[in-house]
Structure 1
Amino acid sequence: MRVVVTVWVVVMAVCTGSKVKLVNNGYDGIEGSEHLFRATRRRAFFRHVKLLIPQSWNNTDYDHPATVQTYQESEIRVDLQHHPYYNQPYTKQPGKCGSPGLHIHLTPDYLTEEKYQSWWGKPGKSLVPLWAKLRWGVFDELGYPNDPIYPSFYYLANEEKFGDKNLSYAPSYCANAEITGFMRKKNTIKGVGKWECVKGKDNLPEQDCRFFADKVQAANSSLLSYPFISSDSVVEFCDETTHLRNVPNKQNVMCRGQSVWKVMLQHDDFKNANPARDAPPEDPVITVIKGVYPSYAVVMDYSNSMRSKNRIGTLQRSVRRWLLYTVPTNSFVSLIRFSSGPAILLTPLTKITDMQSRRNLASKIDKNISGGNKNIFLITDGEDDYDDPESFIDDLLQANICVMTVALGKEADSRLESLSDKTGCKSYVVNDNDQTRMMNSAFEATLVRMPVSAAYSLNTKFYESSKYKTTNLTVGNSFKVDKTIGRNMVFHLETDKIDHVIGTPSLIDPQGNVGEWRWEVQLDGDKSHWVQAFVTSHLRDSSTQPITVTPWTSAPITGVNAAATNVILFAEVTHGSNPIVGAQVRGTIDHPDDGHAAPNVYILKDDGKFADSVKNDGIYSAYMTNFSVTSRYGYRAEVVKNEAFQSGNTMEQQHPLNPEDYLDWSCATCMPTSSPNPTVTNFTREGSAGSFKVESTIRNNKGTSIKLTWTAPGDDMDQGTVSNYQFQMSTNREDLSEAHFDPASPETLLPVFIQDLEDANVLIESGNNVTFNIMSNKQLEFEQVYFVGLRAVDDSDNESEVSNIVQFTFEQKLPFSQSNLKVIQHLRDAIQRNQHK
């Protein structure tokens, strides 16, 4: 078997000439494919490259319109500069070792200007390490200035040698031979003035020291250390024979000392002894496609089982709302219903042109229940017999049709997720007693299928209240309008009974369009009926960059074993393509029961700790730790804090002319925020990630209870009460060291809710003894030595240093099911001594 990759490249640059040359400088896929073939030891190459160009490019030839390809799902994006990276190519990868990245980001300036390529390497060659990060989940093997975890220089062991130089340290990299070069202070010229590096208090070069590699090298690896070296010799990845596992770089920390090549060999692309190919690879086939407005076939289940729990009412109401207010103008919609007999075409493909065309379509869904589209929206409870989706999946793939599925109720067919996954779409779940607007969120998620150029014309919902079922005669709330929206703003009020609402709603503006609005409505006091409000708007003008929230999870929609694999909740908050930091982001998980259980709420953080990989990159994360049953879970995220920063604002004004300046902004653990005041205010946003299935849960797994005892530290030294604790366990003591405690593998994390600590009376005043039984969801191995450590967190998120490390061994003579491992040792001294507030 050999690896053959299809790449989607989305071009978002502005077209200013009469013609646009789309393929050049190695990103025609040919040169990049040759470099990839060589770097993977003749195993992988690009077979097909699809270039998706904007809908607005009218003077560029293309092969055919886009079908399922969208900007949001592309692997390589040519887009505006991303601050703070500016014109540096990079891969966005918030996941852990071996997890695929999100996409590769390139700028038009990098692809067209020689000076940027001289800094960051020719595009054909630089694509290889970028692609390795994206597809195989590996990381950089170089250091960064001012990075506490991945420094620019490190101490050499006694047996190591940095060339023939008499040094006790070396630049952080991985190679099979010395990378030759010179060191000098930042922004100085070699040989002029005080350019030589000096040592700091730690006997390593000070932070203003940089290492500059020579253009010609004898080494042939590693592409993850210095991919921009022009030397033809540096063409491979480090393997186990050349890997330097003691260098404190991101690859070593994230992948626990494994080489890049070893991590790659664990991927499906290289499993089963993927053999090297004798013949050179064929040139990639390049297809240019153009973005278009999507077509939707809404397929609605009208079978008898849909009578139960008013599923048909939920379906009709949500489809009507989507047609009237959400689906964008210029889209095409077809409505189809099915039951026990043949499917019925209610309307053929109809173009959405105005409100009358929307009303005409909406009127077609109000039916009594009886026994080339590019997107199919299938809504069903899946309880009645119908054809196996596998029987027609090949036809769907051949026609390039995306199938989004909505499972109504917990008994819906388990094959729905597989149908969505194989056609490249999301799947959604809706409880029978929907408490969190799950159906409406599923319909609103169809907007990701729109061309990016259509953002100005999208009617986006930015606020939605909960459902009010109350005897109160007056209900109301407030919503925030930020500076990016407000054009054609419409307030909507829904109810299940018209007479339930008395009069018309009242709106109070904040003395202008921007700010906090207040709404109120008078009701008849009948608690059996409900009202719900939502507000939609267009972007304020055509030059406005939208604020968006894009959630997703690390779990595949087709199923995850939560007892063995950590599930991470993600949400990216952006203003245009630039990250927004400092926001408060809340993730909501809907239980897969009958809907009566309250959803679980998680606070997602962008602090570079535990589930989060990089601080201030606008990607907020948290581990999901509560699994009630094995079934479907729905996930959505929302921004609930109204003041935040756009990352790296001063970078836009600096426009540095030297690549060494970029290295200060390309920190592996943290992106900079330089604005002293919030730059994005008074905004709320939300987004839906769809659903995923859990096949096994932590609750059903035989875990191990570990009893920990310590003396409580204080919120401020030995005074007060701490706000939280962080726990980790590993078979490697080094994982729990101060340097590795934060970025340690998620497998070492012992996840605990604040509620768990409060229920166990762990958060008590300084000086009191604490005993806490913490669960490890893994079966422990007999005679294996394990290490446990913790640290305290105060109410300002300041953290103590790591406690003293406790070790224990599980003896085989004890019955596993009755084991109660006791790790009884006071951690008081280390915690109180090492607190740093």
Structure 2
Amino acid sequence: MKFLCLLCVFCLIPSLTPGSHIRIRNNGYELVVVAIHDSVKENAQMLTALKKIISDSSKVLYEATRHRAFFRKVFFLIPSTWSSSLADKDSTSVNLRDADVILSDPASVSRRSSPRTRSYAGCGHSGIHIQLRTDVLLNNNHPLIQHKPEKYMVHEFAKYWYGVFEEYPNPGENQFYFSTTFGRADPVRCSIGLIGRIMQKTSSGIQLCGYDSVDPETGEFPEGCVYYPYPSHNRGTASMMDHSYIQEIQDFCDDDHTQGHYSHNVEPPNRHNRLCSHRSTWDVISNTPDFQGNANPPTTLSDSQLAPQFIIFRAPSRRRRRLAVILDSPKEFHKRLRLHQAVDHFLGDGFDDDTKVAIIHDDVTNGRGTRMRGRRSATVKSSLQNLHDSVDPSALPSRIRAGIEVLKKKNSTKEGMEFHLILISCNNQTVLEEGNIQKMVDFGITPHFYNCEENRMKNIEETIKQQGGLVEIKSHRSIFSALQRLSEKLHGDEKNLSVQLVNENLELAGEGTHQTYLPVDESLHGELVVRLHYTTAPPSVSVIAPNGSACGYTATNHKLRYIKISSFVTENEHGKWSVAITNKTPYHESIHLLVVLKSQSTEDEVPIRTNAWVKVFHEHSPPRVGVYAEVMYGGHPVVNANVSAHVYHRERKVASLALRDTGGGFDIMKHDGIYSNSFTEMDAHGIHYVEVTVKDSLNNLEIHKTYEIPIPTEQDKGEPGHVPMPDYHTERVRLKHGLRRSTSTGQFHIDQRWDLVGNPDPYPPARVIDLQIDGVDRKERRVTLSWTAPGSNLDTGTASSYEIRYQTNGTALVHEPTAAWLVTDDMIVGTSGGPRGAGQTEHVTVQFPPSLKWVAVMLRAVDENNNKGEFSNMMTTFFEL
């Protein structure tokens, strides 16, 4: 029972990021999950080393947050292949999918081969997770570590949890910029108190690159010159987001401009300044919910009080799921039929044979359905094929109690045992009482609730989520999407989870035919399953493999009204499959087409997977809604995909929008596999949800596999500690056969406080985050600027114009952009043809006055109603030195 209580404590935490359960209480972060990937071989010494790194990180975080935060409770998840003696408990609740930190072996094909933090929502918002390699974190000589792994952990945690970013140049970014403060080229750094040497490696050894070596025409140091900050005896104590390993660094950059204090450097074009409007890292962090106002004020704690509690879980070698599925079926026959078809697929194709099920559908007093049976047993099939009118809704509470009882009887502490009560209510009944939820907590049962009606029971919804359950409030047309999301949640990080290729509702006219071409890409290995769910009469269907042969085994279930065709995909069957469906009757027919691949992947054969979510940004008025989808091959992004999001309110499609991975507006990072856009076409209050499709038939897709370029182990004599930042190589692997995927998000709620009528144009253009200088004609004082165009409404549509501001002092421009000079039409060289549509690249050449020796530039977009976006990132350049 102690184990069950521990798991319940874990489940009581609301999810603040996709998967994370972290919370802060009395300054201490709890339930931080560090997962070790299956690719890592058992190593007890490594586990001990990780504990020390995190313990030391707790002290570093405490100092960096000015005594306001530390790590109080940390969960480790070790692989099932590791010895059980290393773990405190076996676990089915803590899983790799929801981990905050994931440690992978460098030889693993599914790793993120470059250590990084996955972010998506931008400045001040938490990310997805921290991905590390064991050889990086545990190598004290690695450039990112340099004997300070605890500082590196805090650096990455700040990116992940607080939404701040690197203040050093990332690979591919310039190491130097033109500083209007000094009137010369300067290293990208924060703060200017961070000092070091600029050096160049030549055939004769290491030599200094002095400022007198700067080319007066280009303003650049000679090729090969690199900035090396001093690893010790440096000035200032910031910034943890810069070269954190430096001995003196212990703070985040702030805006303290008192004499002798080295404050945030607003000028460099680093990732943090670009994405955070040139705010200091401490300004961003101190305004997150963890610290905003008087939340978690400074404390005085000893080192022993800052030491985290560690609990080590071991992933189960097998999962024994026990599911009580309670059906409160809708009254309309076609809705009831779809529900039973979806549950049949959910149980029949979504689990292994270790799963036992009790279907509780009709009056429990007759004794049927209240025992656990195999998921494919005759009793389970019979329960689902029972499509009679739904019973009296007043009997639903007794069925819920019966579900709890049947799970309670099977309660066990065997390895891998887990218990789930799944309630699907379609009669608008508020039946899930908090008392019953507490009973589930007591018995280690996780509740999940699917509601077909828009009856948002917020208190129940939040309670279920706090216990680790899933809540879906959607129309009956999306029941397959909802149960697919539940299947993914219940499977956690299992490799052989089915991949959903198509999930589509079709309307066929009498004797009409629907044909679709289905690319089966080379990352897919396993059984291809095509299911057609019809309402009245079975259609004819043919599935043709790329080699022209008709596909495979066909089964028809006349009671549940579906046709199932399956075939094992071999190596020579990757490519374009075709599915043709013909309505054989003269009457209209509603058909649901579902195509999944039951993956049989190995460590070297991981399928391309998709995931989608919605984030509501409440700091704006009205709130802004971001829609996100990631397309990943293991740890590697898939780029150039055609990703579409379809927003629904009840059963009505509200909008369709293209999601982009272009690195502009809501999409903060180009080619990271996360596709983004904003949803602005709101016309109704209530629950909304999103279905996402990924398509590519033009073979434009590439997997970007990024690898770190090894740095020679032999250090340069006489320059200890001067190790360059790591560089990376990206291998672009083109997909040969296209791509097709389908997924969905959870719901989001547009409440009555959102004025959908009073303000016809509530959204300004999005902020430009990637302003660049493409070229400079110093003699003519012409500067060519480029950026990704926002829309008229955030990332949608086309802006009306741009307001470009310039100054000779970059700091002054950042602090008061509207006080700076305005670029007028007569300063624009040539004609731009007006703003481009959202997501396209803008190019504008500006001729600046002859009196300027150098310039700093920012801009913002303006829509047709004179709504102005936020000012962009700033760029600087010079005309004469």
> Structure 2 length normalisation: TM-score?
0.72
Residue among 468, 475, 479 paired with 1:439: 479
Give 1:517's aligned amino acid: W
Q: Is the counterpart of residue 636 in structure 1 residue 658 in structure 2?
A: no
* Distance (Å, rounded) in 1 between the aligned partners of 2:680 and 2:169: 33
The one-letter code of the counterpart of 1:154 is Y
Residue 408 (str. 1) matches residue 452 (str. 2): yes
Q: Hey, what does 1:793 align to over in structure 2?
A: 836
Which residue is equivalent to 1:693? 749
Residue from 178, 182, 191 that aligns with 1:155:
178
When structure 1 is superposed on structure 2, of 693-702 and 210-219 the one drifting more is 693-702
Match of 1:507 in 2: 544
Give the count of matched residue pairs: 724
The question of whether the paired residues in 2 share the 8 Å contact of 1:252 and 1:258 is answered with yes
76, 99, 107: which is aligned to 2:125? 99
Residues of 1 paired with 2:313 and 2:76: CA distance?
6
Deviation, structure 1 residue 100: 0.6
**What is residue 275 of structure 1 aligned with on the other side?**
297
Match of 1:41 among 60, 63, 66: 66
Secondary structure of 2:157's match?
helix
Per-residue CA shift, 1:679-719, capped at 9, x if unaligned? 46422112222211122576626437699xxxxxxxxxxxx
Q: For residues 368-403 of structure 1, what are the alpha-carbon distances to aligned partners after superposition, in whole Å with 9 as ceiling and x for unaligned?
A: 4211554443322362242544x5656656666544
**Residues 753-832 of structure 1: matches in 2 within 5 Å?**
753-754=796-797, 792-793=835-836, 797-801=840-844
Partner of residue 265, structure 2? 244
- Provide the residue aligned with 2:638 in structure 1: 580
2:237 is aligned with 1:220: yes
Matched to 1:625, the amino acid is: T
Letter in 2 for 1:477: T
Equivalent residue number for residue 713 of structure 1: none
TM-superposed deviation, 1:48: 1.0
Change (3 A) 1:108 1:294: farther
Counterpart in 2 of 1:769?
none
- Post-superposition Cα deviations, 1:285-330, rounded to whole Å, max 9, x if no partner, equal 1111122436353543427xx3147543332221112111223443
Give the counterpart letter for 2:281 in structure 1.
Answer: V
One-letter amino acid matched to 2:539: V
Q: Equivalents in 2 of 1:199, 1:806: separation in Å? A: 26
Q: How far apart, CA to CA, are the structure 1 residues paired with 2:835 and 2:82?
A: 56
Aligned to 2:594: 534
Q: Distance in 2 between matches of 1:193 and 1:822?
A: 52
Deviations 1:609-659 (A, max 9, x none): 11111111111111111112111111132211143555544737x545489
* Cα distance in 2 for residues equivalent to 1:254 and 1:590: 31
Q: Give, in whole Å, the separation in 1 of the partners of 2:223 and 2:442.
A: 56
2:162 aligns with 136
Contact 1:586 1:603 in 2 (8 A): yes
SS at match of 1:587: strand
2:11 aligned partner: none
| Partner Cα separation in structure 1 for residue 255 and residue 362 of structure 2 | 57
Greater shift, 266-275 or 623-632, is seen at 266-275
Is the Cα contact below 8 Å between 2:321 and 2:354 reproduced in 1? Answer: no
Aligned-residue offset at 1:548: 0.4
Determine whether 1:65 maps to 2:90: yes
1:722 paired residue number: none
Aligned partner of 2:186 in structure 1 is 170
1:562-641 to structure 2, matched below 5 A, reads 563-592=621-650, 595=651, 597-641=652-696
- State the match for 1:361 in structure 2: 380
Task: Tell me how far 1:192 sits from its aligned partner.
Answer: 5.6
1:426, distance to aligned residue in structure 2 (A): 4.1
Whether 1:422 and 2:452 are equivalent positions in the alignment is no
The one of 439, 449, 464 aligned to 2:489: 449
Could you say which residue in structure 2 is the equivalent of 1:318? 342
TM-fit CA distance, 1:417: 3.7
**Equivalent position amino acid for 2:610 in 1:** V
Q: Which runs of 5+ in 1 are unaligned?
A: 161-166, 666-671, 708-725, 764-783, 811-819, 825-837
Between the aligned partners of 1:89 and 1:44, the Cα distance in structure 2 is 24
DSSP 3-state at the match of 1:69: coil
Within the candidate set 33, 39, 47, 1:22 is matched to 47
Structure 2 counterpart of 1:363, one-letter code: S
Summarize the Cα distance change of 1:785–1:628 in structure 2 as closer, same or farther, 3 Å threshold. Answer: farther
Q: Using the TM superposition, give the Cα deviation of residue 516 of structure 1 relative to its aligned residue in structure 2, in angstroms.
A: 0.9
User: Taking structure 1 as reference, are residues 125 and 343 closer, same or farther at Cα in structure 2, changes over 3 Å only?
Assistant: farther
Which is further off, 412-421 or 243-252? 412-421
The 1:620/1:706 distance shift into structure 2, 3 A limit, reads closer
| TM-align CA RMSD | 4.4
CA distance in 2, matches of 1:294, 1:442: 22
Paired position in structure 1 for 2:426: 381
CA distance in 1, matches of 2:745, 2:723: 38
Q: Which of residues 504, 509, 526 is equivalent to 1:487?
A: 526
| 3-state SS in 2 of match to 1:98 | coil
Q: Secondary structure at the match of 1:268?
A: coil
Report deviation, 1:741: 8.4
The answer to whether the Cα contact below 8 Å between 1:585 and 1:605 also exists between their aligned partners in 2 is: yes
Instruction: Give the SS at the match of 1:22.
Output: helix
> Alpha-carbon deviations, 1:777-797, whole Å to 9, x = none?
xxxxxxx99999996338994
Q: Structure 2 unaligned runs (5+)?
A: 1-25, 257-262, 393-410, 412-417, 549-571, 714-721, 774-781, 802-817, 825-831, 848-856, 869-881
Residue 115 and residue 282 in structure 1: after superposition, are their counterparts in 2 closer, same or farther (change >3 A)?
Answer: closer
Tell me, what secondary structure is at the counterpart of 1:800? strand
Kept after mapping to 2: 8 A contact 1:120/1:126: no
Kindly report which structure 2 residues correspond to 1:627-706, keeping only aligned pairs within 5 A, or say none.
Answer: 627-642=682-697, 643-646=699-702, 648-649=704-705, 651=707, 654-657=709-712, 663-665=726-728, 674-675=731-732, 678-679=734-735, 681-696=737-752, 700=756, 702-703=758-759
Q: How far did 1:33 drift?
A: 1.2
TM-score, normalising length: structure 1 = 0.75
Counterpart in the other structure of 1:260: 281
- 2:594 partner amino acid: F
Percent identity for Structure 1 against Structure 2: 18
Q: Compared with structure 1, are the counterparts of its residues 602 and 246 closer, same or farther at alpha carbon in structure 2 (3 Å cutoff)?
A: same
